[in-house]
Amino acid sequence: MQPHFDALFAESVRSSPSLSPSSSSSSLSTHGATQAATQGGNYDEPPSKIDLRALDYVTDYDSHLMCPICHVPFLHPVVLECDHTFCNSCLKEYREGASSGARSRCPTCRAVLSSGPRKASRLIVNMCNETKVRCPNDDCQEVLPRGCVEHHATKECPHERLRCPDPKCDKLVKRRNHVPAQCIHISHIECDCGAVIELGKGEWLRHKDEDCPNTGVKCEECGQRISASDYPGHICNPDDDHSCPGKQYGCTDDFSPEDSEAHLKSCPLARLAPHLQKQSQLLQSLQEQLIMVKVRNEVLENGFEKIHDVLNDRVLPYVSHSDHSPAEASDIEEIERDHIPSALSQRDLLMPAHLGDLTPSADPDSLSISQTQQHLLALHESLRGNVSNIENNISTLTNTISDLDARTSMQIMNETLRIKEDLAHTSAALFSTRAQVQWLMNRERVGQQQQAMGIRGRAPSAQPPVSNQAPSARSSVSEGGDSSGQGQSLEGQPSASILGSSPSFRPQIRRQSGGSQERVKL
């Protein structure tokens, strides 16, 4: 009540010019100052934050207190010479719009005025400010005298919407929910009904279903939504329900119970209602299915991704390193780098092709399902692309392998040729050795025969030097054959691999030459 008295006091002070501008209240001093400045008759009134004319005046007020221009109880009334009263601002507005002739006349009686308006009596001011109005803030039901509504609405009304304290947040918050220096919109939500509910605790749904007076609770018997406060007194009477069945689908027609039959016949929405209801049920079930499909889809995608990773990390490195010598492996790695990353980038879209079978078979005209199908088809397509990529990969690999095969067999051929040549050389050398040995043997045999024929008696004494001679000749021959074979192998085979294998040839040659010597011996 205090502000009310303040307002009344302010008005009373305003209407008595004897009070000087040095009065304590700042609003009073502005009155005094403007009054002194505008002797001509226009009084400036304190700027109001709320439009006092647009308020809801709850009680009928005396029509004599009504300004003839704005039809609202006078606001800062002034009286003209002719004794007609107007709001100060209404008179000002009239004069601003009027022609110069009309400006100096009374808007009501057209009397020519020689002096400016004077303030109306305190009695009228107080009576006008005493009229009851409703608080202009939404949801506030407060009814109070007009003289203090501004103070209430802008200073203490719990329903006044204030700016959120967080400068980054552009929402409004009711005064009663306003927490200084804290934005409640992040963690809380404000319902239309004014309740503030903390998010993330299921409280919101509970509020909407049970507590909220706006959405209310659903009657178990008749399915009607009633506000929670009305619920205890609620009486179900579905028989009396003459509302159009198409109401929830947009029929706004109002009709009396007698007309309901006629309306049901004429209303297209009423006839469509069963169909629409079926459709909405179907839509709901499809939405549920879609959610399930999404979950499954996610699981499968994750699984597929894992498989893909395993393939990339374990199988492919083995494939590239196991079958080929290091020189060729680098070629294959290059190919892999070209092809595998593209597969990786598509990994998000990769889906097993059989996933299409998991989509529930549903109404073909359902939009969401067809979208899922399209999505799955797209996935299928991308998978197909991937498979063809892999196929390309494999075919390049096969090409490389066959290329390598050709190269290796060429090398083997070359090597065999060289070995064959070697063998030919060796056998040629062997042949010459054999010829030499034979010649020497022949000579020896001839010599022996001559000795046998010449000196028969002392033949045994000549034998030892011959037997000494034979081994030395034999060893020199074998050495010669050996060195020639070695020389041929050196000039014919520069490759290190063949050089490495040359020691295995030497004993063979020795053995062969040895064998031939043995054969020769026999």
Question: Site residues (CB under 8 A) for another protein?
Answer: 51, 53-54, 68-72, 89-90, 93-94, 97-99, 102, 107-108, 110
- Burial track 323-350 (b if 16+ CB lie within 10 A, e otherwise): ebeeebeeebeebbeeebeebeebeebb
Q: How far is the CB of 271 from Zn ion (least distance, A)?
A: 9
Give the nearer residue to another protein in terms of CB position, either 69 or 228. Answer: 69
Which of another protein, Zn ion, none sits in contact with 94, Cβ below 5 to 8 A by type? another protein
CA distances from 282 to 54, 250, 251, 375, 449 (A): 49, 19, 22, 21, 125
* Exposure on the CB side of residue 103, measured as CA atoms within 13 A: 12
d(CA 330, CA 179): 68
Output 75 or 332, the one with its CB closest to another protein.
75
375 binds, among another protein, Zn ion, none (CB under 5 to 8 A by kind): none
- Judged on CB neighbours under 10 Å (0-12, 13-18, 19+), 390 is middle
Q: From the list Zn ion, another protein, none, pick the one residue 97 interacts with, judged by a Cβ distance below 5 to 8 Å according to partner type.
A: another protein
Determine the Cα–Cα distance for residues 172 and 138; give it in Å rounded to an integer.
13
Q: Which is nearer to another protein, 51 or 220 (CB)?
A: 51
| CA diameter of the chain | 193
The smaller minimum CB distance to another protein, of residues 81 and 333, is found at 81
Shorter beta-carbon distance to another protein: residue 58 or 490? 58
If residue 6 lies in a helix (H) or strand (E), which one and from where to where?
Answer: helix 2-14
Nearest-approach distance from CB 128 to another protein, in angstroms: 15
Out of another protein, Zn ion, none, what residue 107 binds, judged by CB under 5 to 8 A for its kind, is another protein
Out of another protein, Zn ion, none, which partner does residue 140 contact, by CB within 5 to 8 A per kind?
A: Zn ion
Helix, strand, coil shares of the chain, percent, nearest 5, are 60, 5, 30
DSSP result, 111-150: -B-SS--EEPPHHHHHHHHTSEEE-SSTT---EEEGGGHH
Residue 182: CB minimum distance to another protein, A:
36
28 binds, options Zn ion, another protein, none, Cβ within 5 to 8 A by partner type = none
Helices 367-454, 496-521: crossing angle, 10 deg rounding: 30
Token code pair at residue 195? 């309740």
- Residue whose CB is less far from Zn ion, 164 or 477: 164
- Least distance to Zn ion, CB of residue 170, Å: 8
Least CB distance to Zn ion at residue 122 (A): 18
DSSP assignments along 48-69, one per residue = PSS-TTSSEE-S---GGGB-TT
CB closer to another protein, 51 vs 365: 51
Residue 179 region, left (φ>0) first, then alpha (ψ -120 to 50), else beta? beta
d(CA 129, CA 2): 15
CB of residue 20 to another protein, shortest distance in Å? 33
Closest CA to 148 of 140, 160, 156: 156
Out of another protein, Zn ion, none, what residue 369 binds, judged by CB under 5 to 8 A for its kind, is none
Reading the block at residue 348, the tokens are 């998000």
Which residues, 6+ apart, have CB-to-CB distance to 460 below 8 Å? none
Residue of 172, 129, 122 lying closest to 151 (CA atoms): 129
* Residue 227 one-letter amino acid: S
480: partner contacted, choices another protein, Zn ion, none (Cβ within 5-8 A by kind): none
Rounded to whole angstroms, the Cα distance separating 164 from 172 reads 5
Partner whose binding site includes residue 157, from Zn ion, another protein, none (CB under 5 to 8 Å by kind): Zn ion
For the CB of residue 54, give the shortest distance to another protein in the complex, in Å: 5
End-to-end CA distance of the chain: 148
> Which CB sits closer to another protein, 111 or 282?
111
Rounded to the nearest whole angstrom, what is the least distance from the CB of residue 281 to another protein in the complex? 36
Of the pair 169, 340, the CB lying nearest Zn ion is at: 169
CB 85, min distance to another protein, A? 11
Residue 164 binds: one of Zn ion, another protein, none (C-beta under 5 to 8 A by kind): Zn ion
Asked if 153 and 17 count as a contact pair (C-beta separation under 8 A), the reply is no
Q: Based on CB atoms, which residue is closest to another protein, 79 or 349?
A: 79
Minimum Å gap between C-beta 98 and another protein is 7
Which lies closer to Zn ion via its Cβ, residue 209 or residue 338? 209
CB of 183 to another protein, least distance (A): 33
Residues within the interface to Zn ion (CB under 5 A): 67, 69-70, 82, 84, 87, 90, 106, 108-109, 135, 137, 140, 142, 157, 164, 166, 169, 171, 183, 185, 191, 193, 195, 212, 219, 221-222, 224, 236, 244, 246, 251, 253, 267, 269-270
Contacted by 99, from Zn ion, another protein, none: CB < 5 to 8 Å by type? another protein
CB of 50 to another protein, least distance (A): 13
| Binder of residue 124, out of Zn ion, another protein, none (CB less than 5 to 8 A by kind) | none
Quick one: 82 or 490, whose CB is closer to another protein? 82
